[in-house]
Structure formats: C-alpha cells, structure tokens
Chains A and B, each alone.
Chain A
Amino acid sequence: MTSTQSAASTPTAAQPRMIFFNQALREALDEEMERDPTVFIYGEEIGTWGGAYKVTEGFLDKYGPGRIVDTPISEALIGGAAVGAAITGSRPVAEFMYQDFMGIAMDQIVNQAAKNRYMFGGKNALPIVYRAAFGAGIGNAAQHTQSLEAWFTHVPGLKVVTPSNAYDAKGLLKSAIRDDNVVLFFEHKALYRERGHVPEEEYLVPLGVSDVKRAGVDVTIVSYARQVQFSLKAAEVLAEEGIDVEVIDLRTLYPLDIDPVIESVQKTNRVMVVHEAVRFGGFGGEVASQIQELAFDYLDAPVKRLGAAHAPVPFSEPLEFASFPSVETISQGVRDLLQGI
C-alpha cells in the first residue's frame, strides 16, 4: 500500500479547527452513533461520569441509558458481552477504563472474540471495538500506565489500532466502528488533552495504512502513539544539527503496513523503531525483524530500537520520565545511529 501524507500536518485553506484528542474521539463516536442505530457504547463510568477521560461526556443525556450503558467493575463481563451483542447483530463499542484492567477480560477477548469467527467456520462477523486508555506520563503508577499492545498483536483475529493525534484519532475510530472485525483501539492517556487539526467535514482514516508524518532523507524513525509526537519534536531538534529525519506513524499495528517503512529505509539506510512499551519483547521487535527481512541490503547500520526500561513504570516523577523514551533519548539515538551504533 502507498502511504498518504497526513492532512493533519498542514491546515487547509478552510483552516480546520484545533480540537482536543478526546473531543475528536467524542465526535467520532457521536457521528457513528447517529449514523448507525446498532452502535452502542458501554463500560465503567461512561454514562453518568461521561468516561474517565470524558470521551463520552454528554452521551447519556443525548442517547439515553438504552445505548449508553454503565457497567459495574466487571471486566470479564465487559469483554464477553461484546461478543454476544455483536454475534447477534449489534455493533458494540466497549470501553475498558484502563488497558491495565484488560487482563481480567483476556479470556473473553482472546479465547472468545478473537477466535469466534474462525472457529465457527468464518460465517459470522464480530463487529466489536474495544477501547482502552493506556500509557504513562501522568503519575498513575505501575498498574495504570502500561503499554500492552504487543499482547494483542500476537493474537490472530484481532486488529490493533493506536492514533498519535486528534485527526487520526477521529478518522481511525470511525473506521474501526465500521470494520466488521474485533478492533482494539488504544488511546494514549497523555494525548487526550493534545490539540490537533480536525476538519469539520466527515472523513475516515483507513485501518492498516501507515503514514509518513515527516519526510526526510538521513534517518527513518518508525513509531506509534505518543512517541510519534516525541519523534517529531526530536526531528526538529536534529534539523538544527543538519540531520533530516523521516518519521513514520504506523497507526495500525495489526494489520501492519510495512511498505512505507521499507521504502523509507531504501532511501535513508538507517532506521530506528521507537515505542513507549517495554523494549524487550515489544512490538518494535516485530517491526525491526520485518525491516531486516525486507530491506536487508539497504541497511547501513543495525536496526535500532528504543523502548521502556524492563521494570513496571515507577511512580516517582524523575524515574517515570526516565523510564521510557524522550525527545532527548530519541535525538541521541538518531545521532548514535549515524555513527553506526
């Protein structure tokens, strides 16, 4: 597939609005709820409270308790009810307040939702979206800060999506809801209050398409979610040193659109994969492995990976920020890469 330059990076002549990431998600849900009456939303504190990060604020009043359903603290229920609702004709959007809580629902997601269509001979579709907030940076300590996307990319039957900005967030969530598969939609919690350009008109961003967020010729950075923002800032820092960095936002982890990455490596010959998740066993390993398989002859240096320390996310502020990649470590990583190390 070919990549498309994201429209989010350049305001159009119509000056699209700058809105918050969580507001972009809210609009996506609102538009899809209006468009398709089989869509409904449920989860913990999504109704009266409006969602832990206010994504569904106002929805209970607008759509009523029939389609906006507050659940008790019952993750297995949240994971499994989607299966039953979807297989019988609804399009549920289930929210896990924190990705860290999804462990309780793993049987329902992995053994039920992911395998349902396959085990039953491919006859039925399960149009489910499981949404969850993930990631570190606001002092939530070890049990509320993880990046566990790698668990889910490993399960056939699941799609995994994670946007880095408001524009992609809205377009991807709408596409996820319209997709007839089980889509895990992960929202980095530190991005909720980041603003981005979002057009008034309706638009979709397709799943399974990576996006070159910044073109460059010297080094390629491949990333997703919040680390895309850090990588773009690092690219600005490095531009002043005369280093031109290309930043690619994967957006969808499975199915993975690796082609733009390969094209980029053919151009730059040096590539670094950056994610906030723990480095060891992280999704970056899959990307790095595919790069060396498909672009071996173009590599002028080993494929570099940045990820988090091999520890739970520490609470103490200086440790928390030092435990995962930052603009500084990404910039230094690029400099090191140019030295071949």
Chain B
Amino acid sequence: MATPVLMPLMGMTMEEGIISTWLVAEGDTVKEGDPILDFETDKINATIDAPADGIIGGITAAPGVSVKVQGIVCYLLEPGEEPPAAAAAAAPAPVSLAAPPAPTTPAQSAPVAAAPVPPPTPNGRAKASPLARKIAAEQGLDLTTMQGSGPGGRIVAEDLSAVAPAAPAMAVAATAPAGSAGRIMSSPFARKLAAEAGIDIATLTGSGPDGRIVAADVRAAEATPPAVAAALRAPAASTGMVSSTVPFTGIRRLIADRMVESLANSAQLTLVSEADATALVGLRNELAAQYESTIGFRIAYNDLFARIAVRALGEHPNMNARLEGDQIVLLPYVNIGLAIDLEGGLAVPNVKNAESMQLVELAVALRESISRATTGSLTLDDVTGGTFTITSLGPMDVDAFTPVLNPPECAILGIGRIQPKPAVFENEVTVRQMVTLSLTFDHRINDGAPAARFLQRIKQLLEHPYLLI
C-alpha cells in the first residue's frame, strides 16, 4: 500500500515548500523517522522525515521545484509495488486554512454592522410609504384594509393598483405602528438639492427607507431641463397661454402602465353596432320615476346596460372568461365593473355576483360603488375581481370608441350617447333614440363571430327590454 509523503504545513502563512536536497533516492529503503528530504520556505529550512517504513518511489519534484502544502513529494512503497499514477492520488483534503470558510448562518450583519432602528410610535395609523399614501388617496383606497409587502409590513406603492391584476387576494391587514408623524423625512443632500432647485420638498414623496426623500426623488421632480423650465416660466406675451406640468407619477402613471400592459398582452379589437334605444329610454324613465322614492335616486341608463350585459353574459359565458396560464376559465359569477371618471383619474369598481341581482338591487349596488368612488373610499375588494366592464362616454357625445380591456377580463362594452336620430322603424323613416355600442374583446379567447353574437344579444335585449323579464 503506497504511503504518500506530503509537504507539511510549517506555519500559518506557509503555502508551499521548495525542494532543496533529496537525502534519499528512488529505490532506497527507509525506516520511519529517517530524514528523506530537505526543503525551504520563505521563512525556514526544514526536513521531512519518513512517516513510515518503506521504499522510496514516485518522486514528484526535483530540487528547486516548489510543492504546495499537503502536496505529494514522493511515496513509500512495499517491495515490488509501483507508485500510483501521477497526480491521481491526492492527499486528503485538509481543513481550509488559507481561505475563510463560508459562514454556516448568514449572520454577517449581526456582529459587524448594526444600524440602530428607531422605535415605532403606536397611533393606529396604517404603516404605509408616503407614495402609497398618495396613490391610495387618489384612488380612494382604504389602507387599513390592506397588507403591505415593505419592511415591517409597510404598504408600498407596489401593493396598490387601481385596476387590479389577477394577483392573490390580499387579506385585511393588521395595522402596524407608524413612524413619526408630521415631520418630513429627507436626507440632508436632498434638502440641499431641493433648495438649489427651488423645489418645495414637502411636495415630494420619498423613495428611501421609511419614505425618506432622497436625492433621486428631488432629481426626478426636476422634470424639465432648466432652460426649458425657464422658457416655460417666462410669460407668453401674445397667446395668453400658460405652461404647467403635471407629474407623470402616481395614479396617472399607474393607469398609463396598465393601459400599455393591457394592449401589449392581448389581441384586442372592437366591434361596433348601432341599436335602437327608444324602448329602453321609455323603460328607464318609468323605472326611474317608479323607484325614486324607495331607493332615493333615479335609476340610470348604466344600471340598465349593466343588467343587460349581465343577462347576456349568462348566456355567453365565453365572454365572462379569463386566461389563466394554459387554460381559459369560464367564470361561474359575474362581477360587473363600471368605469367611473374621477378628477385625476379613473376608477373601475365592480359589483360582485351581479348574476343573482335583480335590476333594482344592481342599481343600488352600482350607486354605492359610485358613491364610494367619488368620496375616495373604495376598498381593494371594490376594484379587484371584476369579470366584465361597461364604460360610457355618452354624456360626452361620443358614439363609437375603442375601449381598452380591463385585464384579466376578456371583454369590455363601450356605450356611446343615446341621441335622437333619423332611422327606419317599421319601414318608415322616423326619429328614434339611437345608441352605438362598442365591444372590445380579446381575440385570444374569443373569435369574431362569438363576440359578435354576444353583441347582437346585447343589442337585442337593449332594443326589446321586455326580454329581460
């Protein structure tokens, strides 16, 4: 059994030894303890003694050659034995001494760096970054019902979305104590930059820890280059126009991102159909008068359109579907959303399980959504989970348009103005109340014909509302 003779470690900083003189030769017989090799390191000259009895063989290095610590210098063999193949027989891997071992637990930050964490001040406020707070205010979202993904459960901008994607439902949050109240947290450098740029730091939202305003936020707020900004600030003598900027942040940014995302990730196209809404108008007026005293408001066209859409969706479940991975899921419920124009943005709250509601109940529910939207008290549940949306630009005298899908929905019904127009009715040209319907659908999920049939049914229900009974 060949015994390897290894270069010993003679000091903590030794990496290799240089062979000086072989005191024996190949084939010599040695006893344990006999000196066999002189070597030197940068610090010392030393000798390797035979670790066992044997015959010298397989010398690996000549004088002047350096051998790494624990490298093989030669072998001690039994009579007739051959040394192992060169370089194959490695010494047992030593404990690594030159390089520090990887720590077994990632506890680096505990012993070496400890930034002191300020103690929380409890006051029942939801812990949210200033940016998240701003978005929530704009969208009318209630932060106390949300859970945050930031440090310590802080709600951050990412956690909010006005038109929610198919994200996992967020549970109602336990509120965590918030940081200091009232003081604007900003880094000294940010304040300096803001002062130099003439920006009021109180108008900024911070992207640093705990919502600290940092230099990047100030730089972002300096939206236009100084020359252009100066030109814009200069009074325009002749036109009387003034320049102003609207920050492309917050809810505007969110809507922008979602719109682009919707258009980029689906195959949208719009079908347009004109319908005779004369009967609908009559029905609406009667219903509005009938129920005003009991429900406190006049039933609106949107309520009827919503009811019509829900009914049609029940018959065309392929239009109440969503794409999930490699499956098209036809949903067993209709959560109908209504796009609401708010100052500064758009909100689309939806009413859950509209398929089980009669018209009045649906009207009341929609009314409550509108009320919450306009008072800024929409909840996350209001704006997530929708399956179909209707959007009306009729009041602004728009007829046909191309509404953008509200992902993950596969269809959206745009409703134009209801206006008296000449039309053919019972073979005569007369004045009828006409309305244009614009149905955008996702061609990945439905082809043109099924979508058209759905739109046709809507038109039919709209023109003959007694069919809703």
Cα distance, A141 to B150, chains bound together (Å): 42
User: Which residue of A296, A297, A339 contacts B209 across the interface (Cβ within 8 Å)?
Assistant: A339
* Interface 1/0 per residue, A318-341 and B, CB below 8 Å: 100111111011001100100111
Specify which of A296, A311, A318, A326 is in contact with B188 (CB 8 Å cutoff).
Answer: A296
Stretch at the interface among B45-53, B104-112, B237-245, B306-314: B104-112
Provide the residues of chain A in CB contact with B108, threshold 8 Å: 322, 326, 328-329, 332
A90 to B405, CA, bound (A): 90
B443 interface residue, CB < 8 Å from A? no
In the complex, B12 has a CB within 8 A of chain A:
yes
Known contacts A297-B188, A300-B187, A321-B101; A279/B112 CB under 8 A: yes
Contacts of B13 in A (CB 8 A): 138, 192-193
A298 contacts which of B107, B189, B212 (Cβ < 8 Å)? B189
User: Quick one: given A322-B108, A332-B108, are A297 and B192 in contact (CB under 8 Å)?
Assistant: yes
Closest A residue, CB atoms, query B113: A306
Q: Which of B103, B114, B190 contacts A318 (CB 8 A)?
A: B103
- Which of these, B101, B107, B191, B214, contacts A301 with CB under 8 Å? B214
Contact A323 B109 (CB under 8 A): no
With A269-B189, A323-B111, A340-B208 as contacts: A139 and B12 at CB distance below 8 Å: yes
Asked if A322 contacts B109 (CB within 8 A), the reply is no
CA A131 to CA B163, docked complex, whole Å:
69
Are A322 and B107 interface neighbours, CB within 8 A?
Answer: yes
**Per-residue 0/1 for B85-111: is the Cβ within 8 Å of any A Cβ (1 yes, 0 no)?**
000000000010100110110011101
The CA-CA distance from A138 to B104 in the complex, in Å, is 20
Provide the bound-state CA to CA distance between A279 and B116, in Å. Answer: 13
A135 CB within 8 Å of chain B: no
CB neighbours (8 Å) of B192 from chain A are 297-298
Q: Given the known inter-chain contacts A193-B13, A321-B100, A339-B209, please indicate yes or no for A299 contacting B113, CB distance below 8 A.
A: no
Contacts of B183 in A (CB 8 A): none
Q: Assign chain A's interface to a size class.
A: 35 or more
Q: Is A188 an interface residue (CB 8 A)?
A: no
Could you tell me the distance between the alpha carbons of A305 and B13 in the complex, rounded to whole angstroms? 29
CB distance from B98 to the nearest CB of A (A): 10
B104 touches A318 (CB 8 A): yes
**Complex Cα spacing A328 to B104, Å:** 14
B214 to A340, Cβ gap below 8 A? yes
B209:A322 contact, CB within 8 angstroms: no
Interface positions of A from 226 to 282, Cβ below 8 Å from B: 269, 279
Set A139, A299, A333, A339: member contacting B187, Cβ < 8 A: A299
Q: Does A199 contact B (CB under 8 A)?
A: no
In the assembled complex, the CB of A291 is this many whole angstroms from the nearest CB of chain B, namely 11
- Give CA–CA (A139, B11) in the complex, Å: 11
Contact (Cβ within 8 A) A333 B188: no
Q: Which residues of B lie under 8 Å from residue A325 when comparing CB positions?
A: 112
Give, as a whole number of angstroms, the nearest-CB distance from B93 to chain A: 15
Q: Could you tell me the distance between the alpha carbons of A161 and B169 in the complex, rounded to whole angstroms?
A: 61
Contact (Cβ within 8 A) B189 A297: yes
The 3 closest A-B pairs by CB, nearest first: A309-B111, A321-B100, A340-B208
What would be 30 A-B contacts, judged by CB atoms less than 8 Å apart? Answer: A20-B42, A193-B13, A193-B42, A279-B114, A297-B191, A298-B189, A298-B192, A299-B189, A300-B187, A300-B188, A301-B187, A306-B112, A307-B112, A309-B112, A310-B111, A311-B111, A317-B95, A317-B100, A318-B103, A318-B104, A321-B100, A322-B100, A325-B112, A326-B108, A329-B112, A332-B109, A339-B209, A340-B187, A340-B212, A341-B209
Chain B interface residues (CB < 8 Å from chain A): 12-13, 42-43, 95, 97, 100-101, 103-104, 107-109, 111-115, 187-192, 208-209, 212, 214-215
